[in-house]
Amino acid sequence: MKSNMRSRFTYLIVGVMALALICSAVQATDVDITVKDADDGSYIRGASVYVDGHYEGKTNSDGEFSYEYDGRSRYTLKVTKAGYDDWDDRIDEDERSVVVRMDPGSLDLEIMVYDALTVLPVKSARVDLIGISTSFDDYERTDSSGRVVFEVEDREEYRIEIDADDYMEITREIDIDRDALTLQYWLYPENRFAFRIVDDRSDSPIVGATVKVDGKVVGTTSSEGVATTVLDGDGYYDVEVTHPSYSTYSKEIYLGDDAVVEEILLTKSTTSLILSVFDTEKTPISGAKIVVDGKDIGVTDSFGRIDLDTVVAGTHSFEVSASGYVSQKETRTIGEGTPDLIFELGRATIPVSVLVENPSHEPVGEVKICVNGAEAGTTSSTGQIALDLAPGTYNITGLMDGYHDAVQETEVKAGSSGDSVVLTLEPAGLPLGAIAIILVLVVVVVVVAGVVATGRVDLPNRRGPGRRPPTRRRNF
């Protein structure tokens, strides 16, 4: 009996848990929201959605957004979007779709005003905003940043009038678009005047010319050769135009009330120069080739000079080259009073390989190499050393203890791709054969010297058999 009661209780608990899970699964459902404009029914993209104060996301391009809700009780749904009044409402827990219609609100229209010449903000400009289809009419003055702000209605048409002292008034008509609520306008100064600077021969515009009016710089010419400024009205003005490649223009001119452009012709400034070419020892180089701005001008004379006539003032590229020398390329600026040009060329070096070996043609390392008496380095374990020598004649010497000095005169020719020198080091002292002969002679000399020192020479006994030696006499 107790066992049956326990089984029934267990089944009851399992059933309750299963029912709770089923209910929970049923209650977690998606709620679809569609956000529209209350006036024209258009879908509103980017509207922010909040559930009970918690941000959930933004609507897509179709004004739609979906979120998951457990459906246990009513909740507060809020939708916001710039340019619209906020929308909020209580939503029943069983609602699965909500359509939100948002009322357009007022928008802030920002207008920026700039000087067309200086690109600086125009302060205290009066900006009038007038409704075309409404009775709206208001004005503001720009602050120090050239800015004014008006509160406007979306999709309304307005007329903008901007006026400032010493500037030309402008009028524009606009349609309010909530995606473009900042407008920028140029104001052009009154009495605006332009100078057009051109080449007197080609009539082409001159870029980078500096224009002065009554001693004050008013601008630099653009790619069209134009510099604009504001003048005080008709009258005489001292105008000066300068450019590095042209002669200076300076003249008093009269400009009337109706004048808007003055064209000024500039003549190219030229000068004559002497170009001299020397080597590093200040010796003139004759026959050096001179190229200016990619054009072959000629070669230097026996004094290393060449005359450059009618060089146009400005920046030019010079290239100087000569056989046996390192070419030089420089950019020089030429103008009035430029001194004669001087170029100094260093001699071009030729690679020379030096090999030092002994009489058996074996490489000798650690040999000191001198060129015209100056030390140039030592040979490697392979008996070699690489030298870079300018064209000329050199005495190349190999020096090493225990060997006789090896010297070879070598001519390094200009234009050669490379040269090689072989030095043979002879061991210091006599050959082995000569040393052996000397040793033999020394032995003989020593033997003879010993005999002489004893005073006698032992000879063989020549007495016959049975003969007695003679009796020595004794003296008393």
CATH code at position 399: 2.60.40.1120
Q: pLDDT at position 14, please?
A: 58
The one-letter amino acid code at 426 reads E
Q: pLDDT at position 333, please?
A: 86
Minimum mean pLDDT range among 17-31, 65-79, 96-110, 345-359: 17-31
Looking at the DSSP bridge assignments, the partners of residue 179 are none
Q: pLDDT at position 476, please?
A: 37
Secondary structure (DSSP) of 207-260 = TT-EEEETTEEEEE--TTSEEEEE--SSEEEEEEEEETTEEEEEEEEEE-TT--
447 part of a folded domain: no
Q: pLDDT at position 178, please?
A: 67
Q: pLDDT at position 475, please?
A: 45
467 has pLDDT over 70: no
In order of 201, 281, 385, 423, the CA distances from 375 in angstroms are 63, 21, 12, 16
**Residue that finishes a domain, picked among 72, 102, 132:** 102
Report d(CA 106, CA 109) in Å as an integer. Answer: 10
473 part of a folded domain: no
Q: Band of the pLDDT at 271, cuts 50, 70, 90?
A: confident
pLDDT digits (tens, 9 = 90+) for 284-341: 999 999 999 999 999 999 999 999 887 888 889 999 999 888 899 999 988 767 788 9
Q: pLDDT at position 444, please?
A: 73
The reply to whether 332 and 365 lie within a common domain is no
The reply to whether 405 and 365 lie within a common domain is yes
Q: pLDDT at position 3, please?
A: 54
pLDDT average, residue stretch 404-417: 87
465 part of a folded domain: no
Question: What share of the chain in percent tops pLDDT 70?
Answer: 85
- Determine phi and psi for 204, rounding to 5 degrees: -85, 150
- Determine phi and psi for 57, rounding to 5 degrees: 160, -170
The reply to whether 260 and 283 lie within a common domain is no
465 has pLDDT over 60: no
- Determine phi and psi for 159, rounding to 5 degrees: -115, 130
pLDDT average, residue stretch 142-150: 95
281 has pLDDT over 70: yes
Report d(CA 227, CA 68) in Å as an integer. Answer: 66
21 part of a folded domain: no
Report d(CA 269, CA 267) in Å as an integer. Answer: 6
At 151, is the secondary structure helix, strand, or coil? strand
- Give the strands of the sheet with 314-321, arranged side by side: 295-299, 289-292, 314-321, 328-334
The reply to whether 247 and 284 lie within a common domain is no
Q: pLDDT at position 282, please?
A: 92
pLDDT digits (tens, 9 = 90+) for 370-406: 999 999 999 999 999 999 888 889 999 999 998 999 9
471 part of a folded domain: no
106 has pLDDT over 70: yes
Q: pLDDT at position 474, please?
A: 44
Report d(CA 382, CA 11) in Å as an integer. Answer: 100
Q: pLDDT at position 459, please?
A: 47
Q: Band of the pLDDT at 26, cuts 50, 70, 90?
A: very low
**Angle at the Cα of 200 (from 197 to 202), degrees rounded to 5?**
100
Per the model's pLDDT, the better-predicted residue between 192 and 369 turns out to be 369
Q: Looking at residue 358, what DSSP letter applies?
A: -
Say how many C-beta atoms besides its own lie within 10 A of residue 235's C-beta.
11
182 part of a folded domain: yes
Q: Which domain holds residue 258?
A: 195-266
The reply to whether 325 and 290 lie within a common domain is yes
The reply to whether 321 and 381 lie within a common domain is no
Per the model's pLDDT, the better-predicted residue between 90 and 467 turns out to be 90
Report d(CA 179, CA 199) in Å as an integer. Answer: 48
455 part of a folded domain: no
Per the model's pLDDT, the better-predicted residue between 161 and 27 turns out to be 161
CATH label of the domain that carries residue 170: 2.60.40.10
**Residue that finishes a domain, picked among 102, 120, 152:** 102
208 has pLDDT over 70: yes
**Residue that finishes a domain, picked among 227, 247, 266:** 266
CB 43, CB 63: distance < 8 Å: yes
Q: What is the pTM of this model?
A: 0.41
Closest listed residue to residue 98, CA positions, set 77, 125, 123, 118: 77
The reply to whether 170 and 212 lie within a common domain is no
Per the model's pLDDT, the better-predicted residue between 151 and 460 turns out to be 151
Sign of torsion, CA 446 448 449 451?
Answer: positive
The two tokens of residue 108 are 């802030």
Minimum mean pLDDT range among 70-79, 298-307, 418-427: 70-79
The reply to whether 74 and 144 lie within a common domain is no
pLDDT digits (tens, 9 = 90+) for 216-259: 999 999 999 999 888 887 889 999 999 988 889 999 999 887 78
The reply to whether 251 and 318 lie within a common domain is no
The reply to whether 158 and 92 lie within a common domain is no
The reply to whether 289 and 256 lie within a common domain is no
pLDDT average, residue stretch 30-47: 91
Q: Band of the pLDDT at 17, cuts 50, 70, 90?
A: low
Number of compact structural domains in the chain: 5
Q: pLDDT at position 319, please?
A: 95
The reply to whether 139 and 121 lie within a common domain is yes
Report d(CA 45, CA 265) in Å as an integer. Answer: 60
Q: Band of the pLDDT at 461, cuts 50, 70, 90?
A: low
In order of 114, 301, 349, 371, 382, the CA distances from 356 in angstroms are 82, 43, 22, 14, 9
Q: pLDDT at position 153, please?
A: 81
Sign of torsion, CA 363 365 367 371?
Answer: positive
Looking at the DSSP bridge assignments, the partners of residue 351 are 388
Q: Looking at residue 62, what DSSP letter applies?
A: T
> Average pLDDT, whole number, for the chain?
85
Looking at the DSSP bridge assignments, the partners of residue 67 are 31
231 part of a folded domain: yes
9 has pLDDT over 70: no
